Amino acid sequence: MRSYSTPEAVLLDMDGTLVDSDGAVERAWAAWAAEYGVDPALALANAHGSPATVTAARLRPDLDPAQVETAAARQLELQYDDLADVVPTAGAERLLAALDRIGLPWAVVTSADDRLAKARLAAAGIRPPLLFTFEDVARGKPDPEGYLLAAKALGVDPAACLVVEDSEPGLAAGRAAGAMTAALRGLDADVRLTDLGHLAELLVPDGR
């Protein structure tokens, strides 16, 4: 197995990891919470990392499956057009330039749906070679399905992949896939990152 500083592929989460969309995510969940009678603070505490269906079901356990789907669709609707302050995260452009320079394969694996993922990545000016969204899997994070699909598509053993995340559900998905993990926001992983520029330094330590 490769080490986290010499992976064979890098698999990146989107929101909060590659794309700074915190403001848009939090505004949407706050508005959704008001509509669905949920404490906004509780909604925001659960807003990152999991698909909208999982979070909606957690916040409103009284809803039946059809109602959960409706609630999740409403939450996503609130996010689609809120792109005003969506930008690359700190160090993201440096990391992507480093991956390109050393020819290291990479992909984005996100809990967002296809429409939202493409909108946010475009707003941030990022074009991933491969994108896997919630619509590509039967089970979202913390299930490892998305990361396993990405590793297979890149032709890389999951154990040789580095999963980069900013949430516990995402890190759990990476670990369950058997991948090495790197974490932002002070979370625990094989390596803790200050930002994506830090990862660029680990992958290209001599500045090549």
Under 8 Å between Cβ of 96 and 126: yes
- Please enumerate in sequence order all residues whose Cβ is within 8 A of that of 44, keeping only pairs 6 or more positions apart, or say none: 26, 29, 30, 33
| Other Cβ atoms within 10 Å of 19 Cβ, number | 26
Of 187, 170, 40, nearest to 179 (Cα)?
170
Under 8 Å between Cβ of 88 and 123: no
Beta-ladder partners of 11: 107, 163
Q: List active site positions.
A: 13, 15
- The CA R_g of the chain, rounded to the nearest whole Å, is 17
Helix (H, G, I), strand (E, B) or coil at 73: helix
Cα three-residue angle 151-199-117, rounded to 5 degrees: 55
Of 175, 128, 180, 187, nearest to 8 (Cα)?
180
